[in-house]
Amino acid sequence: MKQFIVDTFTEKVFKGNPAAVCLPDRLLTDELMLAIANENNLSETAFIVKDRDKYILRSFTPEEEVDFCGHATFAAAYIVFLILEREEDTIYFETKSGTLPVTRKGDIYNVDLPAFELEKISVTDEMVEAVGARPKEAYMGRDLLLVMEDDFDLTGYEPDILKIKTLDGTMLHLTKAGDGEYDCFSRSFAPKLGVDEDPVCGSGHCHISVYWAQKLNKPDILAYQVSRRGGILDTHVAPGHVNLSGHAVMFYRGDIHI
């Protein structure tokens, strides 16, 4: 079975967020897909199988399946456009969160993802203890979003993974205001999914960009994730949707022998 590793939200290998993309000739069992994702030990492994005019897309962390994943969808689209649909400019993925369209214009890819509604919640002592600083605000969607003070050292922050794992929400996202070049900075952590830090999180920006679009009163948010790998997300927020645009590059192609 062919497998590829694609670095997403970047134009350079070793940057952005890597995802594995597998091309089985038919859907595999959940147990086998999870075993392959665990063996890869990347934040996501995507499996794609053509079904008439769409592609079934399944995304797995090393520990469980997720309904959808932004960077895995980007990686899967990159491979489909590169190998399977060279003449197409739009493809559709059927996921557990519904149909996700992906378009390309040159070497820029755009995926339309569902936005998460954010509920403002109280900042708790547990949040302060887990992060080591008091957030300005806290919001809950699928994930927990903590808005940090402008002087918080987000780049140098050393996460306490065990404490983060006790917080509510599927993932934890820390964000703060940008520097003028970017509208916001962020980092994302998912120890409950077997991923200590997600280097550049597409679904996370279905929370982060929603917040900053409301805060800055504009739909277009240019975000930079300040993980060690780093990555840029050009986002557009519309009612119920977040459009993510960016680049992707291939790092590896090979075969899985099962």
Q: Give the catalytic positions in this structure.
A: 44
Widest CA span in the chain: 54
Q: Measure the CA–CA gap between 197 and 173, rounded to whole angstroms.
A: 10
> Is 78:20 a contact under the CB 8 Å cutoff?
no
- Compute how many other C-beta atoms are within 10 angstroms of the C-beta atom of residue 212: 24
Which tokens in the block code for residue 36? 């392959």
Structural contact between residues 68 and 42, judged by C-beta atoms closer than 8 angstroms: no
Report how far residue 93's alpha carbon sits from residue 80's, in angstroms, rounded to the nearest whole number: 10
- Residue matched to tokens 């147990």: 31
Give residue 248's identity as a one-letter amino acid code.
A
